[in-house]
Amino acid sequence: MVRILQGGPVAEAIRTHVGRKVKQLQQQHGVTPGLAAILVGDNPASSVYVRNKERACRQAGILTETFHMPASTSQGELLQVVARLNDDLRFHGILVQLPLPPHLEEATVINAVHPSKDIDGLHPINMGRLAKGEPAFVPCTPAGVQQLLLWYGYSLEGKHVVICGRSNIVGKPLALLLLQKAPGANATVTVCHTGTVDLAGVTRQADILVVAAGRPNTITGEMVQEPTVVIDVGINRVPDTASERGYRLTGDVDFDSVAPKVQAISPVPGGVGPMTIAMLLFNTLKAACHTVGAPCSLPPLPKGDP
């Protein structure tokens, strides 16, 4: 029987832990962690993410403000807002919601966020630190994938992790994270992408298969083998006339053909999604802790084998 790796309970435990640490930081240091989110334009999925992030911040006692700018915002205007937030002591973290409208240069904007406030871990300094195994902000989705696996008792030590997708936001940083010679990592990592020859031949060899390809049905039943644990990072809106909203959310994995063939799988929605937000709260707390030299760690993992 396949095991469904729900992100909700894990995310909840992390958020509760963050909430407690936020109170401690306020009592002991008089500091309230703050997160500034910048949303440019009206991408519906981005608006939903930002609203969810706001709600989660408030529940954890983190100060949050969203700077919603019109789609016509110029690069210069956006950089000015980032510069102002870099200097604003109320905010320990700055999140620039991606994707940006096409006329804006994502890399330039990300590089403008001060690395000490880069709670998304996307600045080249943080990515470089992660690559070198130095302390860094780890991008939220990769950190969430790692925590989800560890929480359900799946060690990564010595495992063959196959990652489908090489994005800067998931695939690449996840590969760097799981390669670390550190507890909770030390995996053998293979990264597949659109140029991979015989994708199924590689995915069938995975102990753990993480799919972040940005395309529904990237992985189907004949591409997996029984002992594999599958983590589906994809969130795709596919048209669905039976749904009131006119669409439904689906991952990158064909759940119906893959689930019966594997040991465990994370669902979409409700798998990695809640983890990303929990890790964003944790990174914001961490940024605030850094400013006063306070220690900051994740909650201990539950005991026991899968």
Q: CB of 205 within 8 A of CB of 226?
A: no
Candidate residues 64, 66, 276, 283; the one interacting with ligand GUN per rule CB under 6 A: 276
Is residue 53 part of the annotated active site? The answer reads yes
Does residue 287 touch ligand GUN according to CB under 6 A?
A: no
Is residue 303 part of the annotated active site? The answer reads no
Candidate residues 14, 140, 192, 259; the one interacting with ligand GUN per rule CB under 6 A: 140
Candidate residues 39, 81, 120, 274; the one interacting with ligand GUN per rule CB under 6 A: 120
State how far the Cα of 167 lies from the Cα of 165, in Å rounded to an integer: 6
The strand ranges marked E within 193-234 are 208-211, 229-232
Coil, strand, or helix at residue 155? coil
Candidate residues 66, 97, 126, 146; the one interacting with ligand GUN per rule CB under 6 A: 97
- Name the minimum Å distance from CB 152 to ligand GUN: 22
CB atoms within 10 A of CB 181: 7
CB atoms within 10 A of CB 184: 17
Instruction: Pick the catalytic residue from 21, 97, 117, 146.
Output: 97
Q: Please choose, from the candidates 237, 296, 234, the residue with its C-alpha nearest in 3D space to the C-alpha of residue 265.
A: 234
Site string for ligand GUN, 231-270 (x = CB under 6 A): ----------------------------------------
Does residue 69 touch ligand GUN according to CB under 6 A?
A: no
- Name the minimum Å distance from CB 135 to ligand GUN: 20
Does residue 141 touch ligand GUN according to CB under 6 A?
A: yes
Give 46's contacts (C-beta < 8 A, 6+ positions apart): 39, 97, 98, 99
- For ligand GUN, the closer CB: 33 or 93: 93
Coil, strand, or helix at residue 44? helix
Angle at 296 between CA 293 and CA 298, to 5 degrees: 175
- For ligand GUN, the closer CB: 120 or 252: 120
Q: Which residues bind ligand GUN (CB under 6 A)?
A: 95-98, 120, 140-141, 169, 276
